[in-house]
Amino acid sequence: MAGSIKSIFAGGALLLLAACAGVPATTPLPPPSLDAVEADLARDIAALADDSFGGRFPGTEGERKTRAWLIEKYAAIGLEPAVPSGPDGAREWTQSFTVVRRRPSEQPGASSARATRGGRSVDLSMGLIGVDGAQDAPGFADLPLVGLDPDVEDLRPRSLANRGLVLPASDLMRLGGQMTAAEPRAMIITSADQATFDGVASFLKRGRWQLDSDEGSPAILLLSPEASKKLTGLIGDTAKRKPDSAGVIAYDTILQGSIAQEVERIETANVVGRLPGKVEGSGAVLMLAHWDHLGDECRPPEAADRICNGAVDNASGLAVMTEAVRLAARQGQLDRDLIVLATSSEELGLLGAQAFVADPPVPLPTIAAAFNLDTMAIAPRGAPISVIGWGRTPLDPGIGIVADQLGRTLANADWQNAFLRRQDGWAFLSRDVPTVLVSSALADKDAFDRFMQGEYHGPADEFSTGIELGGAAEDTVLHAALLRYFGSLSKYPGARMK
């Protein structure tokens, strides 16, 4: 396979790229050299993964340096700012947003709760651990407590609104994912034993980053085994109580209380560039890669190296993105706009991508195709490619055409689907934007497993002369051709128009 690809570039890659671009073959451009592409990728990955960038954690000096690097690179390849910044049509490079993490206070007794039924009340504060995804200092006054019919499998939207759901810890995994739609004000989690309590407590104490603009998840009050017994004793036998049509059981019990939390906020930003298209109103193609990583304290203080530089994850994605855009742009404008997005806070939960889709500089329905790039520098030259999101968008035939023209083969496998929701493309795909991740990295399972079990999210993910850039270079040329193909109205007329 490697030999056939080299011969393509020696003889005919230029014509294939020109065909994808709609550029007449009589006006050839110098063909891209894989060796030259590798050198460019190595230069950019080395810069972004340098210790001076501090692991590129949001809100740090590393973010400032990364933003400056990206803006300089965007301008050099001919992009313009893409984020509207005022009523006069002015635009800027950055899309700012805030992320927040709320964790239970470490002070004993900082949170409190009391349940009352009739003339009787019980104190639930001993050992209580509380956290709220929506408010910094939440309190509860006369919050009705309810339970669920044990046979309930699906929760109706808003069926728990303005109520507190009493839920055994054993049901947390089964029903927890449905709570967003059901909208309880609070979840009161009971624990049958200390081991159960400790397990849930460990999870809650880590906290979860989210967009500060989000309404947030419901408050969670984890009761100790002793407090759990008090509450179930107060509520009494629920077997004789008839649930309503949504399976909700009223407990005739109310809750008062407050939650004390430790709150962290980070101001950060996506970096967004634009190459205007030739045909106004024809939509856009989007290429994205996350710029953030884990920072300079990703190991204990006693560790010799505490910087997680993120060379592969995801300096390689940024390098492939900017080089692919440069190769595509040198052949002239696309018909459609080209939006180039470097997201922040992917490692914190795809938050930069979520911030973009919540307030997009271009209407999401006008994005004809989107390509995410993540963890690219793994496979050697000649590796096949896989498509995360295959079968979920109308992009598959066009991807197949471009891959075939460049001598690339597809190697999709079921195990790759585990990464569908773990990458920024999911924030777009889940909102009906046709988005895929096309890469040789996940097609080479042995090489990918070695990375995941070794350098992944550790100090060893740093730039060295031995970093594998062969597959990334081929993927760069492939993505340049994909941009030309899906940016062309004649090649791909299927964009959703304004």
The owner of tokens 């500089």 is 361
Q: Using the predicted structure, report yes or no on whether residue 490 has a pLDDT greater than 60.
A: yes
Q: At what angle do helices 13-21 and 396-405 cross, to 10 degrees?
A: 150
Write the burial class of residue 88 (CB in 10 Å: 0-12 exposed, 13-18 middle, 19+ buried).
Answer: exposed
> What is the residue range of 134's domain?
106-259
Q: Is residue 498 assigned to a domain?
A: no
Q: Are residue 67 and residue 216 in the same domain, yes or no?
A: no
- Return the C-alpha torsion angle 106, 110, 115, 119, nearest 10: 150
**Does residue 286 lie within any of the structural domains?**
yes
In this prediction, residue 150 has a pLDDT band, given cuts at 50, 70 and 90, of: confident
Q: Are residues 195 and 156 in the same domain?
A: yes
Lay out the sheet containing 164-168: strands in order across.
120-123, 112-117, 248-258, 139-148, 164-168, 186-190, 219-222, 129-131
- Which of 237, 259, 281 delimits the end of a domain? 259
Q: What percent of the chain has pLDDT over 70?
A: 93
Q: 64 and 153: one domain?
A: no
Are the C-beta atoms of residues 309 and 51 closer than 8 Å to each other? Answer: yes
Question: For position 373, which CATH number holds?
Answer: 3.40.630.10
pLDDT-based confidence at 13, cuts 50/70/90?
very low
> Is the pLDDT at 21 greater than 70, yes or no?
no
- For the ranges 109-113, 153-157, 324-328, 385-389, which has the lowest average pLDDT? 153-157
| Per-residue model confidence as pLDDT tens digits over 219-271 | 999 999 999 999 999 999 877 889 999 999 999 999 999 999 999 999 999 99
Residue 139 CB-half CA count within 13 A: 2
Query: Is 392 within the bounds of a domain?
Result: yes
Q: Do 360 and 433 reside in the same domain of the chain?
A: yes
* Last-in-domain residue among 198, 226, 259: 259
Looking at the predicted structure, is the pLDDT value of residue 157 above 80?
A: yes
Q: How far is CA 44 from the centre of its chain?
A: 23
Percent of the chain at pLDDT > 90 equals: 83
- pLDDT above 60 (res 8): no
Among 183, 188, 185, which Cα is nearest to 169's?
188
pLDDT over 80 (residue 335): yes
Alpha-carbon Rg for the chain in angstroms: 26
Task: Based on the fold, state whether residues 198 and 150 are members of the same structural domain.
Answer: yes
**pLDDT at 496 exceeding the cut of 60:** no
Say whether both 289 and 438 belong to one domain.
Answer: yes
* 491 within some domain: no
* Angstrom distance (rounded) from CA 403 to CA 405: 5
Whether the Cβ atoms of residue 476 and residue 324 lie closer than 8 Å to each other: yes
Q: Where are the beta strands (DSSP E) in 276-374?
A: 284-290, 337-343, 367-372
Q: Is residue 15 part of a domain?
A: yes
pLDDT tier for residue 27 given thresholds of 50, 70 and 90: low
Question: What total of structural domains would you count in the chain?
Answer: 2
Look at residue 16 and tell me whether its pLDDT is greater than 60: no
Report yes or no: 371 and 492 within 8 Å, Cβ to Cβ.
Answer: no
Instruction: Give 431: exposed, middle or buried? Use CB within 10 Å, 0-12, 13-18, 19+.
Output: middle
Helix (H) or strand (E) holding 274: strand 261-275
| Least confident segment among 164-178, 185-199, 342-356 | 164-178
Residues 248 and 127 in one domain: yes
Interstrand relation of 337-343 and 284-290 (parallel, antiparallel or unpaired): parallel
- Same domain? For 340 and 463 the reply is yes
pLDDT of 25 higher than 50? no
Is 151 within a domain?
A: yes
Cα dihedral sign, 462-463-466-470: positive
Q: Are 113 and 254 in contact (CB under 8 A)?
A: no
Query: Which residue matches tokens 């739609």?
Result: 181
pLDDT higher than threshold 90 for residue 78: yes
Q: In terms of Cα–Cα distance, which of 176, 178, 217 is closest to 200?
A: 176
Say if residue 297 is in the same domain as residue 400.
yes
Q: Does residue 277 share a domain with residue 254?
A: no
Q: What does the block give as tokens for 479?
A: 């993505």
- Residue 206: the pLDDT is 93
Segment 157-170 shows an average pLDDT of 94
How far apart (Å, rounded) are the C-alpha atoms in residues 95 and 89? 15
- Please indicate, yes or no, if residue 495 is contained in any of the structural domains: no
Would you list the DSSP string of 435-459?
A: EEEEESTTT-HHHHHHHHHTTTTST
Task: Please identify, among 259, 284, 301, the residue that sits at the C-terminal boundary of a domain.
Answer: 259
Domain assignment present for 496:
no
Whether 7 shows a pLDDT value over 50: the answer reads no
Within this chain, do residues 288 and 402 fall inside the same structural domain, yes or no?
yes
**Residue 217's pLDDT is what?**
83
Map tokens 């803006």 to a residue: 71
Tell me the range of 169-173, 277-281, 298-302 where mean pLDDT is highest.
Answer: 277-281
Residues 249 and 311 in one domain: no
CATH code, 239: 3.50.30
Q: Is the pLDDT at 304 greater than 60, yes or no? A: yes
C-alpha to C-alpha distance for 180 and 182, rounded to whole angstroms: 6
Mean pLDDT in residue range 146-151: 90
